[in-house]
Structure 1
């Protein structure tokens, strides 16, 4: 990024140069407008800092001339002055200056510079998937080219029908649609998006574009769910700024939602085995019991206890014991259906809840899991586990009674020599 400094004071030019260079600008510092004009003609500057008081010419006239150049219509121009005259601001802004700063208030200028650098970096790092619906091929070409030049991926469609199909099929960070289309209206497009069954898709930001500027039409579109409205002819810089703001807000929201989901998963899962934890089990099983009783389908619980696990820890260390627990957890997950629940209840004890499963099938599943565990040999250690199986009784609503029977069955399995499955009604 390049910065042009125009100030009669060599010490102030040096001060500004060091500040701008600290933000990775390449600074060109001159004392007069006569020196500044050739610099502007031969290279592009991303920011101009000009003093109000210059020896050779009127700095305000210079600002007005710069604004006439196509490549500088939107470049920030900051004016620095020692004057406390209240009229300076109005005159400077009228001449095209972006903002006026007192030289004595250097911290305010530095804060503004920080915000500018952050915005410029954001523009460089633009990314996002945009769905664009526009029935004018020439208009679409110009807008699409601008967006692609700024790093966006754009899928353009001439009709609303094609655009809506693409929206439901693919992921987009933003929808850009003309209000007046050949087949359906932009309003119909907005409603199709907001009526989506996917919560993620229905919150996609929408910008409506129209040559109409009447308030009634805007109100109808905002009521239907658009996030922003741009009037034709579209100014590229304005459109880019609006798109950038909406996409970054959406991406930030997605990041926050993902972090929230991650925190919720951490709260409900055992960190060692990645199975559900005891808290999740205690919260979910009563709901599953109630549903099974209400709909009249069978439900079974299996409790698993690794045999002689204390000896594994004592003889091989706790890190090896952890690997044994992880290996058993993988067997349990791979041996049940996706709708079933596998949880680490505590220590070396695990619980499986089997929905829509009668006791005989539950016994068969437990037996398969027992054999799989016995054949594991994690860390070259022979391990086995004892299984207790029980089934939900008629009108039973209590988690503790269901668990107690399965736990008692595990105790009986251990009393029977371990490495076996015991069913208890």
Structure 2
């Protein structure tokens, strides 16, 4: 799907010119002639990027941008101000209002299209994260939009890669007013430094001696630990062609020398705010994935995960000709614990039970809550004899020490019964293995509980 560009300008000729330029590059173009119309379109999530004029009646572009960036529904939409205003004060005012860039007319087609493509790629990546994070709201996680709107972009960790002492000393001094800054004058060490430093922003000079700054930017984009760290490139005015190439390979923003102090700080804050927002989105996605496969009470994997992962483990065991042990554990007389001490006590027992299970198994073993007070442990590359020893050790761990309930004010005896079997026949259905372990568990309970019963394949 083509990116949707909203052009906002009260001069029809300007609108038509931008529309023609963008349409020629196969963007979908929408137009608005005033700020109120632009805000309405943006709130309906109908655009991916906004090209915004400054000098408009009723509401100027600075105010439109401030409203967009202060609204949780629209703050993530990139805004590029395209205006005839060309003073540093106007540029800084636009960046302070939250604009992602400030282009002065006349803007070359190459610069405009490169910037639009760079920002729309970023917007579409953010949209994908936002879409994946929607589930997080449904399961009670906090949406990051309001914190993103309130974020000042200050207090970030910045790595400055520049081998000219006069340059990096001035830049570091400016940035240190709002951020923690590390300087790396050796570009060959910069990538290692960036990967280890957990930075919010990389600032890279493209005028390094005997080193290609763009190659460093490209390497940062290809390395997993720095792939999502924003990059702000700095170059001489005559290097505009290299800057455009930088935008294509993943540079997020750029500055031309001589560097304006206010503009440097404003662009750094913009990139750091965006980094924090996308990190929060990624965390929400990861947490929602973990919650989907994890039992909330015990922290063990849930039945859904066990059923899908067990099938994979069984297939691997059959392919490699290795044994696979499986045990089903049931807490004895668990209903009486709930009846006599309350469901809170039952929850205390389940949580402590999960802790003891983790201590008794290996890292490669899979422990799951199967349902209620039943649990399943799957042990790859483990035969029936070894699995029996592990099961007996776990049984003794449970029975050997009373369980604390009611915040430690009372302790009760708890035992478990275990049914154990192995998958040793190639092609055997996982359901048959579970059924055999369940049959062994039934025998353990029938024979008096607090014991391990094995049933060979």
TM-score, L = length of structure 2: 0.65
Q: How does 1:21-420 map to 2 (within 5 A)?
A: 126-149=154-177, 151-196=178-223, 198=224, 200-378=225-403, 379=405, 380-420=411-451
CA gap of 1:178–1:230, structure 2 versus 1, over 3 A, is same
CA deviation profile, 1:277-321 (whole Å, cap 9, x unmatched): 111111211111112222232211111011111121222222211
Deviation at 1:209, TM superposition (A): 0.8
Report if aligned partners of 1:389, 1:422 keep a CA contact under 8 Å in 2.
yes
Report if aligned partners of 1:101, 1:108 keep a CA contact under 8 Å in 2.
no
CA gap of 1:116–1:248, structure 2 versus 1, over 3 A, is closer
CA gap of 1:397–1:253, structure 2 versus 1, over 3 A, is farther
CA deviation profile, 1:251-281 (whole Å, cap 9, x unmatched): 1111011111111222211111111111111
Report if aligned partners of 1:101, 1:109 keep a CA contact under 8 Å in 2.
no
Report if aligned partners of 2:233, 2:243 keep a CA contact under 8 Å in 1.
no
Aligned residues: 322
Task: State the distance in 1 between where 2:162 and 2:176 align.
Answer: 16
CA deviation profile, 1:118-145 (whole Å, cap 9, x unmatched): 9689685612111101111111111111
Residue of structure 2 equivalent to 1:90: none
CA gap of 1:364–1:398, structure 2 versus 1, over 3 A, is same
Deviation at 1:363, TM superposition (A): 0.9
Task: State the distance in 1 between where 2:372 and 2:318 align.
Answer: 31
Task: State the distance in 1 between where 2:152 and 2:379 align.
Answer: 53
Task: State the distance in 2 between where 1:223 and 1:125 align.
Answer: 25
Gaps of 5+ in 2: 1-53, 72-95, 98-148, 406-410
Report if aligned partners of 2:327, 2:376 keep a CA contact under 8 Å in 1.
yes
Deviating more after overlay: 291-300 vs 301-310 = 291-300
CA gap of 1:124–1:254, structure 2 versus 1, over 3 A, is closer
Task: State the distance in 2 between where 1:240 and 1:140 align.
Answer: 15
Residue of structure 1 equivalent to 2:110: none
Task: State the distance in 2 between where 1:369 and 1:130 align.
Answer: 49
Task: State the distance in 1 between where 2:255 and 2:171 align.
Answer: 13
CA gap of 1:139–1:109, structure 2 versus 1, over 3 A, is closer
Report if aligned partners of 1:299, 1:355 keep a CA contact under 8 Å in 2.
yes
CA gap of 1:195–1:237, structure 2 versus 1, over 3 A, is same
Task: State the distance in 2 between where 1:405 and 1:201 align.
Answer: 49
Task: State the distance in 1 between where 2:181 and 2:333 align.
Answer: 61
Deviation at 1:191, TM superposition (A): 2.5
Residue of structure 1 equivalent to 2:117: none
SS in 2 for 1:229: strand
CA deviation profile, 1:154-180 (whole Å, cap 9, x unmatched): 110112013222112221111111112
Gaps of 5+ in 1: 1-97
Report if aligned partners of 1:305, 1:350 keep a CA contact under 8 Å in 2.
yes
Report if aligned partners of 2:153, 2:272 keep a CA contact under 8 Å in 1.
no
Task: State the distance in 2 between where 1:229 and 1:141 align.
Answer: 19
Deviation at 1:183, TM superposition (A): 3.9
CA gap of 1:291–1:123, structure 2 versus 1, over 3 A, is closer
CA gap of 1:166–1:181, structure 2 versus 1, over 3 A, is same
Deviation at 1:108, TM superposition (A): 11
TM-score, L = length of structure 1: 0.70
RMSD: 2.6
Deviating more after overlay: 215-224 vs 335-344 = 215-224
Deviation at 1:99, TM superposition (A): 6.5
Report if aligned partners of 2:159, 2:202 keep a CA contact under 8 Å in 1.
yes
Task: State the distance in 2 between where 1:111 and 1:209 align.
Answer: 29
